Structure 1
Amino acid sequence: MSGRKNRPVRDIPAATQDVVLVCRKCLKKMKGGGFGPAGDERLDRALEAAALAAAVAAGNDRPQRVAALRGKARRRRLLPVLVGTVACLKICPKDAVMAISGAQPGQWLAVPRGTAAGDVAARLGLAFATRPAEPGAPATTPQAGPDGP
């Protein structure tokens, strides 16, 4: 037998704060992506790009190092969010992708095509996202004047 049997468990440092699971089958069904600025990216890649852009906007020097890395595994380890694809989640919405946040495992999202990655990140509760109004909160609409609505 080889010496692998007695190898200790080791820690691998990562900057990851959040984990998102995205259904691989839903991604495959969405031909042409449907996310990102041009609408041609997959949801998992659009979320990683949004995390990188948020880090750049925050003035962090880590994104330049992340962008310079060529290996996908090294690059993903330095992002604030780890977006992983998983096998089919058995909920197959039409023209949407299923996503689950590790911070909120009880809340699954069916993300329709064309949704901005920042909005998805905020709904998933990711640390780098700006928080929009809660879904149950009253909408802010312009007040009607004396002429009526």
Structure 2
Amino acid sequence: MSDEKVISDLKALARSASEQSLWDIARSDGHGSEYERRQHFEALNELIHRQNCEITNHQELSWYPLEAIELCSHVFVADRSEAFAVATALLIIDDLRTGSVDYMGCRMSKGVLANYELLPKRLREPLQFGVTAIKTSKAYLDEQGADQALRAVSKRK
């Protein structure tokens, strides 16, 4: 499957999110006030519905909504599975678009990959195709090669 198709399917997943799921993502920043959660919610709506699910300015969006998105994608909770999937989808979209893999290291662990299996098919499949696209990307393969080289050097010391 092409990266464009994978991204399109991930965007469709994000756009299909219920308002409740968007609030669940916004509330993932548990240290914030209700005002801050509202800021996350509004920035998340802006990202999904006006910016085509594309993080175009990481510095401007670094707190609202990225902090909440990242926190939500770290923790799978069954009754908030749509929020988890949408948050993860937005991060996968960003990594595929930018050629970066900065968000995906921990999201490819065996435990997190097992969480994807617990999701309903409509949420699970776009994420799995996204993870596969990242695993076969040049950026990911280059990073893996660099990590292996660093481990080899460390073992020699």
TM normalised by structure 1 equals 0.28
Which has a greater percent of helix? 2
Which has a greater percent of strand? 1
